[in-house]
Amino acid sequence: MCQQAERKFFMEYLSFFLHVTALMLLWSPTLSLATNDTDYVALVAIKLSIIHDPQHVLDSWNTSSHFCQWQGVTCGRRHPRVTRLDLQNQGFVGSVSPHIGNLSFMRSIHLTNNTLKGVIPPQLGNLFRLQELYLGINSFEGEVPASLSNWLPFLFGNFTSLKQIYATENYLGGIIPNTLGQLYNLQEIGFESDLLHGTIPRSLYNLTSLKVLSVADNSISGSLPNDIGLKLPNLEDFHIWGNKFNGSIPFTFFNCSNLYKLELDSNSFTRKVNIDFRHMPNLKTVLLGNNSLGSSESDEMNFINSMVNCSQLELLSLGGNHLTGVLPSSIRNLSSQLTILSFEYNLIYGTLPSGIGNLVMLDRLYLGTNQLTGIFPSELGNLRNLKSFFMDDNFFTGNLPKSIGNLSLLLELSLAKNRLE
């Protein structure tokens, strides 16, 4: 019993001694540190900056094991240096210690979906080996640190290895730093649902490797460059919905043959949709609604003809614009995977094109508040997966076809303000 008590006392004393030593090192910048001590002290500082750990993840961060064994910490194979920090989805409350910038071998940081507050430490700019940075769904505030440009160490003649940066759903204000355009290996940028304003820096359009650009749900303004599709040919996911962009939608998006999400809705884009979609076979989502699109030209609905090659298309939304003209008959040849089709709140006239019943996977069909005429074709009964069907505020006449009774999954049906009998 005495031996056990002595061992327990010794371990507690050792733990206390190491933590005190670590704290001394934190506040003694002039003290020379061994490389392992540097990482250990930085991790202890990170732990101290967390004031609430509901899942007790950081309980393992103690002296009973090497820090490379601590939960969420990964070290390199050849050297015991921290290369990855994965603390996402842990419910942490607190802040991020600036000492995180001392983990000089760090390649990947995942802090998504916590309640971390304060500013993003500018010391992150010291981590020139960093390839992934995920800070989304937290409560960070202030501006995006300009020091992020330090990830391009000209001193060594190398470009940065950073490929992904995400800081979505925070309180980050200010403008997107122009210096991000110097990080030539960037493939993914995500600042969605923050408080950013200003414009997208021209330098970002020089990142030819960029695959994802998501700055949706901010207050960013300005127009898109006409040659965006030529400068960013590798785009796969382009999210800028919910901002203040204006001007026309660049036709050069046709050159982005790998694009599968184009989300430009809820902005102030004008004129007609002039994109030739024939060479964009991977498109799944096209959101252009709630803008001011429309030119009153007779051919402004012709872009639909070029979408018949988009065999993966699942969602097409252009509601809330000023589009005029008739729905072309080519609509029946759209993707068999299409689940949502929306043209509501426009100035579309004419009759429903024959063959619309071919879109058998449709889940939602929105054509309300237009100037459509004629009768409802009986083939609407083929849309057996339909759950929402809005044709209100048009000029439809005649009777409802009995085939509507085939829509056994229907949850919403709106036919108000027509001329039905």
CB atoms within 10 A of CB 51: 11
CB 199 within 8 A of CB 222: yes
Which range of 35-39, 132-136, 223-227 scores highest in mean pLDDT? It is: 223-227
For residue 252, pLDDT over 60 is answered with yes
The mean-pLDDT minimum among 19-23, 101-105, 160-164, 349-353 falls in: 19-23
Q: Which residues contact 256 (CB under 8 A, 6 or more apart)?
A: 229, 232, 233, 234, 235, 238, 280
Confidence class for position 368, pLDDT limits 50, 70, 90: very high
Does residue 209 sit within a domain?
Answer: yes
For residue 156, pLDDT over 70 is answered with no
pLDDT digits (tens, 9 = 90+) for 389-405: 999 999 999 999 999 99
Does residue 112 sit within a domain?
Answer: yes
CB 131 within 8 A of CB 107: yes
- Write out the residue range of the structural domain in which residue 83 sits: 54-420
Per the DSSP assignment, residues forming a β-bridge with 414 are: 390
Alpha helices in 190-331 (DSSP H): 228-231
pLDDT digits (tens, 9 = 90+) for 50-86: 999 999 999 999 999 999 999 999 999 888 999 999 9
Q: For the domain that residue 298 is a member of, what is the CATH number?
A: 3.80.10.10
Q: Which helix (H) or strand (E) holds 11?
A: helix 2-26
Straight-line distance from the first to the last Cα atom of the chain, in angstroms, rounded to the nearest whole number: 94
Does residue 8 sit within a domain?
Answer: no
Determine what percent of the chain is predicted with pLDDT higher than 90. Answer: 76
pLDDT, the chain, mean:
89
Q: How many domains does the chain have?
A: 1
Does residue 159 sit within a domain?
Answer: yes
Does residue 194 sit within a domain?
Answer: yes
For residue 255, pLDDT over 60 is answered with yes
For residue 117, pLDDT over 90 is answered with yes
pLDDT digits (tens, 9 = 90+) for 5-37: 544 443 444 344 444 444 444 444 333 344 568
pLDDT of residue 70: 96
For residue 157, pLDDT over 90 is answered with no
